[in-house]
Amino acid sequence: VNRLTAITTNQEAGWFLGLDDEVIYRIDKEMLEEQYAARLLPPPAAINLSVDEVSYRKYHRYLTNVVDTDEKAVIWNDRGRRREVLDRYYTAIGEDNCKNIESVALDGARTYITSTQRYAVNATIVYDKFHVLQKLNGAVDMVRKQELRKARKDENKELIELMNCRQRFILLKKKSNLTEKQSGYLERLCKANEPIYKAMLLKESFLKVYDYNDPVEAEEYLRGWIKDAIESSLDMFKKIAESFLDKLQYIINWFRKKISSAISEGINNKIKRLKRMAYGYKDIDYFRLKIHQHCGLLNPRRYSH
């Protein structure tokens, strides 16, 4: 049961074994609880961490996940995303282990930053590149939504067609990664709508900051971008620029540590797939265990022979 539920749904495992779904659930949860107590209590300490949140239910219900970026595995999680939640991990591993932490990659949440500054006193805090770009794409998409609402109000069919949800991914991709057809579509859209044109210019110019290797040069370029964004007529980019200015040192720390954002992105995608496979989880404690089973140290492939 434990091996099957690590690679497929409880329903499929039950069908294969000739067992009821509820029986599979009870067996799986009991085994995972035993494994959790044996392997994850007390929580493992790590040298390089990534901290992120994941939604487990509608209406802002979140889990905080702590990832060992060297092991590429979730090593701890708990319900909520307040400062006190991450505090529980740091207090559980102890003061000496906290002092040994060298880097912590975050999604920019002030609650996580405050907790890390308090406990991991020697760590370099990094605003993870993946989440920085996620925020940037979110700002572009908000501009698209605002302009789409205006187009619908004005009954501008051409703009409605150009800005509908099916086309949004073109705005979120790097310009250099677009096909010839997609590039032509984007050019049409930018000519037809000035705010989207400005949003795309700001997005593409921001991406150039990651071409720098020297933190000092990167900071100088980023400060110039923040100034341009604040002076733009786009409210969403003004807000994101002010947020980046507030967390500037953590963005620049990425150039000092170069922590890979692919780890966070890969684990987030696994967790999303896990939720889709099960059509959501009513039992939040079971969901926490399943994350460890699929994305952490309770994965059977890590300890089976």
pLDDT in tens, 284-293: 999 999 999 9
| Average pLDDT of every residue of the chain | 89
How far, CA to CA in Å, does 133 sit from each of 29, 230, 258, 283?
36, 18, 15, 32
Per-residue pLDDT at 261: 61
pLDDT at 92 over 80: yes
β-pairing verdict for 61-68 and 48-57: antiparallel
pLDDT at 172 over 60: yes
Which pair of structure tokens corresponds to residue 43?
């929580």
CA 227 to chain CA centroid, Å, is: 26
> pLDDT over 90 for what percent of the chain?
59
**For 61-80, what is each residue's pLDDT tens digit?**
889 999 999 999 999 999 99
Query: Which residues sit opposite 66 in a β-bridge?
Result: 51, 76
This prediction has a pTM of 0.86
**Is there a contact between 130 and 264 (Cβ–Cβ < 8 Å)?**
yes
**What's the full length of the chain, in residues?**
305
**For 192-243, what is each residue's pLDDT tens digit?**
888 888 988 899 999 999 999 999 999 999 999 999 999 998 999 999 999 9
**Per-residue confidence band for 305, with pLDDT thresholds at 50, 70 and 90:** very low
Angle at 98 between CA 97 and CA 104, to 5 degrees: 120
How far, CA to CA in Å, does 159 sit from each of 142, 156, 164, 189?
15, 6, 8, 8
Provide mean pLDDT across the span 93-111: 94
**3-class state of residue 6 by DSSP:** coil
